[in-house]
Each structure stands twice: as C-alpha cells, then as structure tokens.
Amino acid sequence: MKHIIILGDGMADHPVERLGGKTLLQYANKPYMDMLAKMGKTGRLVTVPDGFHPGSEVANSSIMGYDQNEVYEGRGPLEAASIGYEMSPNDFALRCNIINVNDGIIITHNGGNLETEDADVLIKYLNEKLASQYPGIVKFITGIQYRHLLIIKGGNKYVDCAPPHDHPNEEWKPLLVKPMENVDAALLAAHDKDANGKAIDPLADEYRMSAQQTADLLNELILKSQEILENHPFNVARKERGERMANIIWPWGGGYRPHMLTLSQMYPQIKRGSVISAVDLIRGIGHYAGLRNIIVEGATGLADTNYEGKAQAAIDALKEGDDFVYVHVEASDEAGHDGNLELKIKTIENLDRRLIKPIYDEVSKWDEPVCIAILPDHPTPVEIRTHVKEPVPFIIYYPGIAPDEVEKYDEVSCVRGSYGLLQLQDFMNAFMAIK
C-alpha cells in the first residue's frame, strides 16, 4: 500500500453569514472531496499541541507524526534547510518576511504579493546597507516571494516575535520583539544540544548573546530596514503608482538547528518519500524528514499555483517508487489571510478539480492500492484573517475500506466520522498502519 497526503493549507474555516451560515467547505463545489468522504472514513484532528502557536510549522510536522516537544525549533531553521543553508551550532535562524506597513499599521504580511525576483533585489540591498553594519553577525538570505531568512550569529531563541500574518490592521510598534520572561536556563539547557549532541546552556555568555540583547538587535534591524527599504527605487516606484510597498522586514519563528528522526526511521514502511510544495517551510520539514523535495514549475504558494503540475508530480513520484508523498498547497491559507472569501472558495474548488481529481482518477486504475488522506493543517478563517487553534476535518480512503456514514467533507459533517477526534501523532500512526 502506497500513501499520499493532500493538504490544503488553512482550508478549514468558520460559518459565514454571507454564505447562509455555511463554512466555505460546506459551500464550495468539491465533488471529489465529497465522494472520497462518502467512500472512506472521516474524523477530526487536533494538529496543535497545548502551549504551541497554531503555525503551519507546528501543524504540518504534527500531521507527519512529530512530537513538537521534542523537535520544535520554529520556522527559520526549517526554511534554512529548504533553501540549502546549512546551519552552524551558533546560528539563530528566523523567518524574515518583507511586509507592508502604512501609518503605523500592518497592512499585509506579504509585501503586496512580492515576487521573488523583486525580493531578491531588496534582500541583496539589505545585506549591503544593513547587514554590513553588523559584520559576521547578521545575514539576510533570499527565499521565495515575501518569505526570507535572517541569520543572527550567536542569537538567542528565547525571544517573543509576533507572526505578522496574525496581526493584520494592527499597530506594528507594540509588536516589536521582546525577550521571554522567566526563562529557566538550567531547564532549557536540558533540552538544547549542540551539533555533537552535547547539552548546552543557550543563555550562557560564552555560547550566545542574551535574550534581551537579541531582542534589541532584532528591533534595531526592523526599525532601520524601514528607512532603507522605503527609499529603494523599487518601493519609490510602487508608491508613485499607488501600490503597496514592501517597506519593512519582520523577523519571527526563530530557532536553532532541529534534531529530527526521518520518517523512514519512524515508519519503516516508508522506504522512499517525497514532499511537493511551493513553500520553503514545508520543504524544510521534508528535508529533515528525509523526503525528496520535488520542485514543480509554476508552483507559487498563491491562488495561481500550478495545481495540475503538482498532481502530475505526485503521480510520477508514486509510479517511480515512492511509498509516501506529501502534497502541500498553500493557496487557501493565503486567501484566508487576505480575507478574500470568493478567492478562498475558488482555491478549495481548484484543489478538488485540478489536483485531487487527476490524482484519484489515475491511482484508482492501479493494481497496487494507494491510501489517500485529505485535510488542512489548521483553519484560517476569512473573517479573522489568521490561524486558529481548532480541530480540522480529514478523510482517509483506500480501495476496500469500510466507509462510515459521513457523505460530505466539511467541518460539521466530519464530527460524525468514525475516527472521532484524533490527537496530533495519532493521525500519522493510524494512516501508516493501513497496509
């Protein structure tokens, strides 16, 4: 039995009055998801453990079977792995958005849908004009679109950084970086190890700067970046055209290099696997999980992504010997963060028609059965525009499965699913137990 997980990032939602009190999954035209729900078994899954923020790094790695208390290090290290930056033991890696602020307010977390080519110019400019003020300590690395990487040599991860997508239309200065309070260095030392597995004290002077020093440095970089970016010709031209500028950096999700087992070590039935995503974060999880990263031309992380290309890449991977494929589509999450109801519905329908349909239509012809799971990682409600920590609905289907009574795939119907409410790693354990 081969296994494929199809994940619509942020696809789950809340009832919306404009839709007659339905959720977007209830309202959308998604015949293949509904068909698989009727033919398979459903349930709901808690993807975010207590004490963790409902970020995609937490939810996706939990879905893959990882215990966050053992592996969590934030987004930065995962995205570093994705773009090929090999972290040293003394690196503190942060996700670094280029965002748009106006009149002291966060307007958008994505810099006005910044393209990678334009962002690369800005990142190089930041290295020239800003990182150069801190030689050997600060480095910016280009990622994809608005998602980039900031490396602080000797930085301390025990700082509180607000994810920008959680704070649209809010004042940004009160959200500047703060050191975490009441951090017990002895306790933390027991959980942190260097590259050789030796326990370290991350707050020790000889190893890292203090949390306060790290917060002060990050805030200094944020404030200086605004003047530097707003005066760059790219943003000057955008402002003259009345467009949103990519005018300030926003670092968050920082951590050290994680220590993770591969999925093959955790699930011996996975001899070879792949991850398909346009998002550095998911590729980074895949890297540490021992999965091949398959890059699909035209995959953008937005609503205009290449659904068909991802579907074909997944089919080809399974045909060519992969036992496990993780297909991640970011589009619904981005539409949710933008508060765009119509677009989010369209992304759900595109996932169904342009990705799930061709995958199912192909693998249903094969002699070797393929077990298919469909789910989001977390809800991103369009009327809230941020992630929420709530259970998500899921489907598991394979030829010969005894279906439950659920006939539709949505947040309400799946409450009655025969899997009930699963917790964290229970999903992957149940999924991989199907042989």
Distance CA 349, CA 329 (A): 12
Answer with the one of 256, 271, 298 that is the final residue of a domain. 256
138-184 pLDDT, tens digit each: 999 999 888 899 999 999 999 999 999 899 999 999 999 999 976 54
Residues 101 and 194 in one domain: yes
Shared domain check, 285 and 137: no
Residue 106: in which H helix or E strand, if any? strand 105-108
Percentage of residues of the chain with pLDDT beyond 70? 94
Q: Across residues 182-202, what is the average pLDDT?
A: 48
Residues of the domain holding 201: 79-256
Say whether both 99 and 239 belong to one domain. yes
CA 253/CA 337 separation, integer angstroms? 18
Residues 251 and 266 placed together within one structural domain of the fold: no
- pTM for this model (two decimals): 0.79
CB atoms within 10 A of CB 264: 17
115 shares its domain with 52: no
Contact between residue 31 and residue 355 where contact means Cβ atoms under 8 Å apart: no
Say if residue 357's pLDDT is above 60.
yes
Tokens for 346?
A: 């369209």
Residues 97 and 146 in one domain: yes
CA separation for the pair 113, 120 (Å, rounded): 14
If asked whether residues 268 and 309 sit together in one domain, one would say: yes
The answer to whether 101 and 226 have CB atoms below 8 angstroms apart is yes
What's the residue count for the chain? Answer: 435
Please give the average per-residue pLDDT across 362-374, as a whole number.
Answer: 98
HSE (CB half, 13 Å, CA atoms) of 88? 10
pLDDT tens-digit map of 210-264: 899 999 999 999 999 999 999 999 999 999 999 999 999 999 999 998 889 999 9
Q: For residues 422 and 42, is the Cβ–Cβ distance under 8 A?
A: no
Q: 432 and 399 in contact (C-beta within 8 Å)?
A: no
Q: Is the pLDDT of residue 204 over 50?
A: no
Same structural domain, 107 and 58: no
Which ranges of 15-115 would DSSP assign to H, the alpha helix? Answer: 24-27, 31-39, 56-63, 68-71, 75-82
Mean pLDDT computed over 405-430: 98
Same domain, 356 and 421: yes
- Burial of residue 362 (CB within 10 Å: 0-12, 13-18, 19+) is middle
Percent of all residues in the chain with a pLDDT value above 90, rounded to a whole number: 84
Instruction: For residues 427 and 66, give the distance between their C-alpha atoms in angstroms, rounded to a whole number.
Output: 11
Provide mean pLDDT across the span 421-429.
97
Instruction: Taking residues 78-90, report their average pLDDT.
Output: 88
| Runs of H (alpha helix) within 131-277 | 185-189, 211-230, 233-240, 263-266
Domain total for the chain?
2
224, 357: one domain: no
pLDDT in tens, 325-355: 999 999 999 999 999 999 999 999 999 999 9
Return the half-sphere exposure (C-beta side, CA atoms, 13 A cut-off) of residue 234.
Answer: 18
Residue where a domain terminates, one of 256, 282, 301: 256
Task: Decide: residue 389, CB within 10 A, 0-12 exposed, 13-18 middle, 19+ buried.
Answer: middle
Same domain, 191 and 53: no
Identify the CATH number of the domain in which residue 36 sits.
3.40.720.10
Count of Cβ atoms closer than 10 Å to residue 133 Cβ? 11
Q: What per-residue confidence (pLDDT) applies to 192?
A: 54
Are 295 and 190 in a shared domain? no
Last residue in a domain, options 206, 236, 256? 256
- Residues in Cβ contact with 342 at an 8 Å cutoff, skipping those fewer than 6 apart: none
